[in-house]
Homo-oligomer: A and B are copies of this chain.
Amino acid sequence: MTRKSSSVTIRDVARHAAVSVATVSRFINRTAPVSQEVAERIQQVMLDLNYKPHVAARQLATRRTLTVGLVIHNMHTDFFAPLLSGIEAVVSENQYNLLVATYDYKTHHHRPLPIGPHNTDGLLSYADCLNEEQLTDLCRVKFPVVLIHRTAPPQLRVPFVTVENKAATYKLISHLIETHGRRSIIFLRGPHEQEDSRWREQGYRDALEEHGISFNPDLMLCGEFNRHGAYTALKKFLARRHPPFDAIFSGDDDAAIGVYKALREAGLRIPEDVSVVGFDDARLSTFLNPPLTTVRAPTQLVGQTAASILFDLLQERTVETCTLLSTEIVLRRSCGCTYENPGEPFQDVVR
């Protein structure tokens, strides 16, 4: 077969340098010593010919792609940028490539994974993008995976990185109760598949119980962890016969935006009539009016950590299976707290 090959190959380099391809390969990969003289000749020829090793050929021969992947639900959320930023930093530091794709087994269920052993050496998977079966399959072929914002199925032992949800929520709700005297606190939960939501619910329930407040299922709504879902859920709640309430834990910061809107439309003031608190400390939370009291989650660090663990896995180092990054409460105005300088949104009170 005669194919036109515009590109210069290792063979060309070998010929011009008057050595064998094996020697050139050894020089390139530093996989065996090469005489000083030959090394210089090869180096020069590579420059002259502007030789670039062919990635695919290399992959075929070595069975390594030097690429890792990230699978995530969607990229609309404010969450995504800091997460990806943390991941990318580690990936490029390791001279690897990063493939990203949106995927959700619930909506893409019949489509194969866009990222996997066929095109990467390892995978970062956010929350519940992959189901247990898919994870099991990947584990079976010993494909390195690190989970983000979810724990691993117990039988699998795949490492995961997530943030402390329960204790922070407990503190947040306790603050509402103890400092601001709130006792009827709505919880806008996220999707039930998402672990964060379940942990936050647990923290919420624990705080209530600890303070002798009985859990009222009528105060639990589904906010879907986004502004539109939260708005809709709260609107409906307000429109029907509902129990009285004096605070809202919106589930996350994006949902808080919808909460603000619904409350305003109902003529309720924040925080005078209703305290509002969120979770994440997204970039915009400081700028909401009033500034949002929330929990600061180290999202960029989550990305960094997960990626680092993935590279440990790739180098077959032992890794921590469970990484729980700590969170802290950020008190702003929306819970009822006051600033010394109310005009200054950058000045947070962190606990």
Known contacts A85-B74, A92-B101, A283-B284; decide if A54 and B289 are in contact (CB<8 Å): no
User: Contacting chain B: which of A76-84, A165-173, A235-243?
Assistant: A76-84
> Does A344 lie at the interface of the complex (its beta carbon under 8 Å from any beta carbon of B)?
yes
Closest chain B residue, CB of each to CB of A112: B52
A261 to chain B: closest CB distance in Å? 6
A57 touches B60 (CB 8 A): yes
In the bound complex, what is the Cα–Cα distance between A288 and B78 (angstroms)?
16
Partner of A101, one of B56, B57, B74, B88: B88
A92 touches B85 (CB 8 A): no
| A280-308 interface with B by 8 A CB criterion | 283-284, 287-289
The 8 A CB mask of A4-32 against B (1 = contact, 0 = none) is 00000000000000000000000000000
A4 to chain B: closest CB distance in Å? 10
* A325 partner residues in chain B, CB cutoff 8 A: none
A56 touches B54 (CB 8 A): no
> Does A59 lie at the interface of the complex (its beta carbon under 8 Å from any beta carbon of B)?
yes
The 8 A CB mask of A79-101 against B (1 = contact, 0 = none) is 01110110010001000011111
> Does A163 lie at the interface of the complex (its beta carbon under 8 Å from any beta carbon of B)?
no
A92 touches B88 (CB 8 A): no
Partner of A344, one of B119, B264, B344: B264
| A55-74 interface with B by 8 A CB criterion | 55-57, 59-60, 65, 67, 74
Known contacts A74-B85, A114-B92, A261-B346; decide if A98 and B97 are in contact (CB<8 Å): no
A272 to chain B: closest CB distance in Å? 14
> Does A230 lie at the interface of the complex (its beta carbon under 8 Å from any beta carbon of B)?
no
A103 to chain B: closest CB distance in Å? 8
> Does A33 lie at the interface of the complex (its beta carbon under 8 Å from any beta carbon of B)?
no
Closest chain B residue, CB of each to CB of A59: B56
Known contacts A88-B101, A92-B102, A118-B54; decide if A257 and B287 are in contact (CB<8 Å): yes
Beyond known contacts A59-B59, A74-B85: 17 more, CB 8 A cutoff: A52-B118, A53-B118, A55-B59, A60-B60, A75-B85, A76-B81, A77-B81, A84-B100, A88-B101, A92-B101, A97-B99, A97-B114, A97-B115, A98-B99, A98-B100, A287-B287, A287-B289
A-to-B contact residues, CB < 8 Å? 52-57, 59-60, 65, 67, 74-78, 80-82, 84-85, 88, 92, 97-102, 114-115, 117-119, 257, 261, 264-265, 283-284, 287-289, 343-346
> Which 8 residue pairs are nearest across A and B when measured between Cβ atoms?
A284-B284, A56-B59, A75-B85, A56-B60, A289-B289, A264-B343, A56-B56, A55-B118
